Structure 1
């Protein structure tokens, strides 16, 4: 039977409990997030569905559609309007050894600089860009540094593929968590979203205005996603 992505999408209210439990398990746990763009990118690959332990919906649209057919979920996204701040505070307070992987070299370096200013005791022991041809040396490095948490910002499906492959190769437990464009956004501005935008839930609008590739996704791909999702779920129910 083809694995169902919907069954692996958890509610944002469960994130803290899942995060806490992940550190108690003696195995590597991978967490990622899906939105109307990345949903079908992940759905194309059984290995990405099976290989990631927990998915969360990082957009209101996907939550709304999901809740029409499945147990209700709330949003969780790796940005400062959602779980990024409490997650990074947890990592800092518990002195977890953090690796930051993703974005370009310059964006990564700037993001790490910003994070260290925001969280002075954040123990970042490794960082590098997300353009990785051979995962083996990276896995060896983070293992040698006894990393506890790996923050991965490469975009879908690359960040999920990295997590799935890393899980296979790692010999010590770690928490792998994707963050999409968080590193790039943090390199642009410490708190990327305007406070009014966050209050009104219009993060997608700010991203549309600032980034052409986001405009293309929203205009061309989101309407198709809604139609495809509803059609699939309605016929599946029948």
Structure 2
């Protein structure tokens, strides 16, 4: 548990650190970026082999960010893949540089609605391929990866939920031959099919994104009631235990 916690916490970076890595990469490597929140933290904690494959993990949510900064020296900001945070930068840069974008995720049909909404916001955005996030088997998943790779994308955005989306990023980097930026985005594609800029401006200003999601989605309410309190207790207990271990005299 101690090693898993340390590995995950060390992988968590700031948006500035991500931008530094992207500028150094310059299309010469795959850069795998995912996000962690009070729900996905414990999921990823149980999969250190998956965490180790990620280049950058960003803190998606004020609760996780606050606890991370309380217990860790590497201070981070809240960075989510939505239009209150990172998505706007990714799409604006893609539009400016005529980057090829692949969208994979959400239920069948919704990804194309999301694409139309994105194109309304970013008319020159070059989305070269879309596909929903459901595969009947591994062979179909590999076929979609090869199809996406044949488009020579610069950016691949995947929304399948944790840990499926992280496994997809790893498999993509193993199969594809054209280097690109790989992002997970959780429910961003499905949310964007409801409305391009999903969050109300006042909600974004007040930092109440969790409240809007809870009102609109029952599974979010369940996570707030069950998973978030469990996360806080387990997180604090694990990090206090790590501090005690680190301060204990060595024999």
TM-score (norm 1): 0.95
The aligned runs of 1:40-79 (5 Å cut-off) are 40-70=42-72, 71-79=74-82
Q: Give me the whole-angstrom Cα distance separating, in 2, the residues matched to 1:156 and 1:6.
A: 17
Confirm whether residue 33 of structure 1 aligns to residue 35 of structure 2: yes
| Structure 2 counterpart of 1:166, from 162, 167, 172 | 172
TM-score (norm 2): 0.91
The aligned runs of 1:1-238 (5 Å cut-off) are 2=4, 4-22=7-25, 24-70=26-72, 71-132=74-135, 133-134=137-138, 135-238=141-244
Q: Give me the whole-angstrom Cα distance separating, in 1, the residues matched to 2:63 and 2:180.
A: 31
Offset, 1:25: 4.7
The alignment covers a number of residue pairs equal to: 237
Offset, 1:116: 1.3
Q: What 5-or-longer segments of structure 2 have no aligned partner?
A: 245-251
Offset, 1:12: 2.7
2:247 is aligned to none
Offset, 1:13: 3.4
Q: Give me the whole-angstrom Cα distance separating, in 2, the residues matched to 1:104 and 1:34.
A: 22
Q: Give me the whole-angstrom Cα distance separating, in 2, the residues matched to 1:17 and 1:117.
A: 30
Give 1 or 2 for the bigger CA radius of gyration.
2
Partners of 2:22 and 2:31 within 8 A in 1: no
Q: Give me the whole-angstrom Cα distance separating, in 2, the residues matched to 1:218 and 1:187.
A: 23
User: Runs (4+) of structure 1 moved beyond 4 Å?
Assistant: none
Q: What 5-or-longer segments of structure 1 have no aligned partner?
A: none
